[in-house]
Copies of this chain bind each other. A is one copy, B any other.
């Protein structure tokens, strides 16, 4: 069983603090734009420093943002004193990462006391409708009392 956290303000603050400690998110220019029960969104603007050789968003950047979105979505559903580790994920790249801005949403598919499964979707945002560029399925392990992995 998953103990529900005390309230929204609580996990929101913990997630914001954790996110702020992610050097990689700062490097990507990413920001947290939504934190709610089981759902977290991260956005980042297009930047040439994030591209692969075709001038589109590198798959690793997409993975980084989706992994963080999925992990923090799971984070809304664990007790404050435990940690999460991403064990593995799969990413499908569906359309080239072209756009002015990108949105990455992570959502918990299956909560659990040991293993949590989350799914994520990435979208390119420009003038028109949002375009689905990628999906992720991520498996996370709940870690209790292991030193050095405190959130």
Contacts and interface: CB of A to CB of B under 8 A. Distances in A.
A131 to B, nearest CB: 10
A117 B92 contact: yes
Copies in the complex: 4
A19 B59 CA distance: 14
A126 interface: no
A130 interface: no
A24 B48 CA distance: 8
Interface in A47-89: 47-55, 58-68, 83, 85-89
Interface of A: 18-19, 21-28, 47-55, 58-68, 83, 85-96, 109-110, 112, 114-115, 117, 119, 132, 135, 137, 139, 141, 148-151
